[in-house]
Copies of this chain bind each other. A is one copy, B any other.
Amino acid sequence: MTDREIGVAVLGLGNVGGEVVRLLADNAADYQARVGAPVVLRGVAVRSVGADRGVDEELLTTDAQALIDRDDVDVVVELIGGIEPARTLITSALAQGKSVVTANKALLADHGAALDAAVRAAGVDLYYEAAVAGAIPLIRPVRESLAGDRIDRVVGIVNGTTNFILSSMAASGAEYSDALAEASRLGYAEADPTADVEGYDAAAKAAILASLAFHTRVTAEDVYRQGISEITAEDLDSADAVDCTVKLLAICERVTGEDGVDRVSARVYPALLPKTHPLATVDGAFNAVFIEAEAAGRLMFYGQGAGGTPTASAVLGDLIAAARNKMTGTAGTGESTYAQLPIAPLRDTPTRYHVNMQVTDRPGVLAAVAEEFTRHGVSISVVRQEDTAVGASLVVLTHTARESDLQDTVAALGELEHVNVVTSVLRLEGTGE
């Protein structure tokens, strides 16, 4: 095998692509030793050649397909993002027997089944450690290290932009719009922050994690999703009053129904989390994922969830793994969806709730409110009443309840004479109840 080389095509030269190209050059000797053959960059596909891209101009091409088609390309690294042309290019690479490394969570969450079929047919690797929680090794630990265990729950802070915004609201008392503006100014939020702040990015990651954890195909559409754009400074104050913070959580859970059937619940929403929970201290742009497994117990993985260099670390780890497999003519562990658990509808998923409402400050209001919760089968844990400029605010923290019962309660509260408005309904997670 002395003449063997592993040829690499990189598609896309953004923050991550640039770092991948740089590290491929800087670490060439190490990669050769680790793989057993030189890992050689054949070319980089970009939208337009020209200007100084920090890469040898001869390596640049605008013809991604031609680059993939080269006989001397063994592994394709897709860093374009989005559905097309990424999907067509990856599918073509797989069909030609080339392994693929990608960070494209949207594509994986929406088209995982088709990609998996193509991977199986070709007997190659499709690796995507960088698609979830950036530099944090998560896909391989869940797929391989925990392969002998039964995972019950995965709860993660997997979006750095929203975590930065919520951390900064908690620290400074700022309103959402000001915190978002600060995040944009510092480069933590994109010009159009929708994918991050409305939870689409976290939902795609939740779909990928749930698929792996429960050996079941879960798509982004199966994930209940709610973003952070309606979180107010008052919500954070109110969380603080019960020793909680607010985090955008991606939750993947095995839920055993009353019929004895295991289902997968995957959901993304801002939730109260006790300050003593390990995820509560994960601040700023950091990510962390908490896993509960039957035998392993509680595990936590923490690190940088975004940024060109950390993400490049994950991409390159996958690239080395794919290159090693190419050298031995094998492929790593692929998808496993044998369990095919049904998806649990949100309305049957039990959680705790934190309901905040403005009420008229007069005797009997608290009793009337409590009565509505009881009537709908929602048990109350704590009630807190505070005077405000315009009346009084009443906060109710429930025990575990079904979403449908809670929604019925909230609808009924709106009809009560002295409840002016239900200002927010947030879930409470991580109390182990």
Chain A residues proximal to chain B, CB less than 8 Å: 19, 23, 27, 30-31, 33-34, 129, 135-137, 140-141, 144-150, 215, 278, 293-304, 307, 309-310, 312-321, 324, 328, 330-331, 333, 336, 338-339
Shortest C-beta distance, A74 to chain B (Å), equals 16
User: Which of B33, B136, B301 sits near A339, CB closer than 8 Å?
Assistant: B33
* Contact assessment for B313 and A295 in the assembled complex, using a CB-CB cutoff below 8 Å: yes
Question: What 9 A-B pairs have minimum CB-CB distances, sorted nearest first?
Answer: A148-B316, A137-B145, A295-B313, A137-B141, A135-B296, A296-B313, A147-B320, A299-B303, A33-B338
Closest to A33 in B: B338
* Contact assessment for B33 and A215 in the assembled complex, using a CB-CB cutoff below 8 Å: yes
User: Which of B34, B298, B307, B318 sits near A336, CB closer than 8 Å?
Assistant: B34
Most buried by B among A150, A317, A339: A317
Q: A33-B336, A34-B338 are in contact. Are A149 and B317 (CB under 8 A)?
A: yes
User: Which of B300, B314, B328 sits near A302, CB closer than 8 Å?
Assistant: B300
Closest to A145 in B: B137
A-B contact pairs, 7 of them (CB 8 A): A135-B296, A137-B145, A137-B146, A147-B321, A296-B310, A324-B333, A328-B330
* Contact assessment for A299 and B302 in the assembled complex, using a CB-CB cutoff below 8 Å: yes
A296 to B328, CA, bound (A): 27
* Contact assessment for B136 and A320 in the assembled complex, using a CB-CB cutoff below 8 Å: no
* Contact assessment for B300 and A296 in the assembled complex, using a CB-CB cutoff below 8 Å: no
User: Which of B141, B148, B321, B331 sits near A320, CB closer than 8 Å?
Assistant: B148
* Contact assessment for B316 and A149 in the assembled complex, using a CB-CB cutoff below 8 Å: yes
* Contact assessment for B302 and A302 in the assembled complex, using a CB-CB cutoff below 8 Å: yes
Shortest C-beta distance, A101 to chain B (Å), equals 10
Contacts of A31 in B (CB 8 A): 148
Q: A27-B148, A140-B145 are in contact. List 5 more A-B contacts (CB 8 A).
A: A33-B339, A137-B146, A148-B317, A148-B318, A294-B313
Identical subunits present? 2
Most buried by B among A30, A141, A296, A297: A296
A299 to B135, CA, bound (A): 8
Most buried by B among A135, A145, A333: A145
* Contact assessment for A144 and B317 in the assembled complex, using a CB-CB cutoff below 8 Å: yes
Shortest C-beta distance, A156 to chain B (Å), equals 14
Shortest C-beta distance, A283 to chain B (Å), equals 12
User: Which of B140, B144, B297, B321 sits near A304, CB closer than 8 Å?
Assistant: B297
Shortest C-beta distance, A340 to chain B (Å), equals 10
Shortest C-beta distance, A12 to chain B (Å), equals 17
Shortest C-beta distance, A153 to chain B (Å), equals 14
Contacts of A278 in B (CB 8 A): 302
Contacts of A319 in B (CB 8 A): 148
Shortest C-beta distance, A346 to chain B (Å), equals 27
A304 to B299, CA, bound (A): 7
* Contact assessment for B301 and A296 in the assembled complex, using a CB-CB cutoff below 8 Å: no
* Contact assessment for A295 and B320 in the assembled complex, using a CB-CB cutoff below 8 Å: no
A314 to B293, CA, bound (A): 11
Contacts of A293 in B (CB 8 A): 135, 313
* Contact assessment for B310 and A297 in the assembled complex, using a CB-CB cutoff below 8 Å: yes
Q: A296-B314, A297-B304, A309-B295 are in contact. Are A140 and B148 (CB under 8 A)?
A: no
Shortest C-beta distance, A308 to chain B (Å), equals 9
User: Which of B141, B302, B304, B310 sits near A141, CB closer than 8 Å?
Assistant: B141
Contacts of A129 in B (CB 8 A): 145
A131 to B197, CA, bound (A): 41
Contacts of A318 in B (CB 8 A): 148
A296 to B330, CA, bound (A): 27
Closest to A301 in B: B301
Most buried by B among A150, A278, A295, A303: A295
